């Protein structure tokens, strides 16, 4: 099942993508793709619906972030060994955790703003994991039962603010529009193995990232168990699991960073694609 949110920013409605790639309106069934609507029993009820019994949404509406009212947007750094090498950093012994502010969240095809004065805005295609069943001190053996589904995330990053402005990665990761999520939340049953998904990112048609989730250092079940020791996980929380090599910061001999007027395209096998145009922040 592919769940989505469509409509104007701040007024998105819940939807479902049918087998013919048409959007079906879920407003008569749930209020949003958020919180308890992502719990296992709710997803089972949605899966039992006949998509053709739902109103078809006309035209081509804007696609919003595929999860609404996100409580926590937790990210994992340096979770691919080859990305750690290109960044010149050691492979971490434990997951590196940072956060994106929820004000960074935007739709998968919304414009991405280059912050005022930025010289080092970068890209990162990542697998997003959406929590459906909350908990604390979750065992690895049961961790995947807590997953509602998966999505594409672009972990846009301003490297100067991340690495050169007094520490704390959160500063460089949380600018407005730095968290495109979607287009779909693909439920767990549709992805046979989330640790074998091709992923890629292009800027102006040039492919910079071309990886696969099989090279994750910490697998999804490990991340969920680890994070649940630091915080309670709740339905609708989003975990961004790290990026493969090919980020602009790591390009040799000279790094390449984003500027206004460029186009990013990125995707993950089975989870859809994003497309963003970069614009200068007002």
Using the predicted structure, report yes or no on whether residue 9 has a pLDDT greater than 90. Answer: yes
Residue 130 and residue 209: Cα distance in Å, rounded? 23
What integer pLDDT is reported at residue 79 of this predicted model? Answer: 95
Using the predicted structure, report yes or no on whether residue 176 has a pLDDT greater than 90. Answer: yes
Cβ partners under 8 Å of residue 15, min gap 6: 3, 4, 5, 6, 23, 24, 25, 26, 57
pLDDT, greater one: 241 or 83: 241
In 3-state terms, what secondary structure has residue 163?
A: helix
Residue 227 and residue 41: Cα distance in Å, rounded? 24
Confidence band of 117 (pLDDT split at 50, 70, 90): very high
What integer pLDDT is reported at residue 46 of this predicted model? Answer: 98
What integer pLDDT is reported at residue 42 of this predicted model? Answer: 97
Q: Percentage of residues in the chain with pLDDT exceeding 70? A: 100
What integer pLDDT is reported at residue 167 of this predicted model? Answer: 78
Residue 249 and residue 256: Cα distance in Å, rounded? 6
In this structure, how many other beta carbons lie within 10 angstroms of the beta carbon of residue 114? Answer: 23
* Percent of residues in the chain assigned helix, strand, coil, to nearest 5: 20, 30, 45
User: Can you list the domains of the chain with their CATH numbers?
Assistant: 67-280 (3.90.850.10)
Average pLDDT over all residues of the chain: 96
* Whether residue 253 has a cis bond before it, omega within 30° of 0: yes
Q: Percentage of residues in the chain with pLDDT exceeding 90? A: 94
5 — phi, psi (to 5°)? -130, 130
**CB 262, CB 148: distance < 8 Å:** no
Q: What is the mean pLDDT of residues 183-199?
A: 98
Torsion sign across C-alpha atoms 192, 196, 201, 202: negative
What integer pLDDT is reported at residue 89 of this predicted model? Answer: 79
Question: Ramachandran region of residue 279, left (φ > 0), alpha (ψ -120 to 50) or beta?
Answer: beta
Q: Give tens-digit pLDDT for 58-102.
A: 999 999 999 999 999 999 999 998 787 777 878 899 999 999 999
What integer pLDDT is reported at residue 148 of this predicted model? Answer: 98
What six digits make up the tokens of 121? 């805005």
User: Model pTM?
Assistant: 0.96
């Amino acid at each position: 099942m592919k769940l989505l949110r469509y409509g104007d920013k701040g007024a998105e409605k819940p939807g479902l993508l049918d087998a013919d790639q048409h959007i079906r309106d879920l407003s008569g069934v749930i209020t949003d793709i958020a919180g308890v609507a992502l719990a296992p029993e709710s997803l089972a009820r949605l899966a039992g619906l006949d998509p053709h019994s739902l109103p078809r949404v006309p035209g081509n509406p804007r696609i919003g972030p595929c999860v609404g009212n996100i409580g926590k947007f937790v990210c994992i750094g340096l979770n691919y060994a080859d990305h750690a090498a290109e960044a010149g950093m050691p492979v971490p012994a434990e997951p590196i955790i940072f956060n994106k502010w929820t004000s960074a969240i935007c739709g998968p095809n919304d414009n991405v703003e280059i912050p005022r004065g930025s010289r080092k805005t970068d890209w990162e295609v990542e697998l997003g994991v959406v929590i459906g069943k909350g908990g604390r001190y979750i065992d690895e053996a049961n961790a995947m039962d807590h997953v509602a589904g998966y999505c594409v995330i672009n972990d846009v990053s301003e490297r100067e603010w991340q690495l050169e402005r007094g520490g704390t990665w959160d500063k460089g990761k949380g600018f407005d529009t730095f968290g495109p999520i979607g287009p779909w939340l693909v439920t767990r049953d549709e992805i046979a193995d989330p640790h074998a998904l091709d992923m890629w990112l292009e800027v102006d048609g040039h492919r910079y990232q071309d990886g696969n989730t099989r090279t994750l250092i910490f697998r999804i079940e490990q991340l969920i168990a680890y994070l649940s020791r630091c915080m309670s996980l709740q339905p609708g929380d989003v975990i961004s699991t790290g990026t493969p090599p090919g980020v602009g910061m790591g390009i040799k001999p000279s790094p390449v960073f984003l500027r206004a007027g460029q186009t990013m395209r990125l995707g993950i096998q089975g989870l859809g694609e994003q497309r963003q145009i970069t614009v200068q922040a007002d």
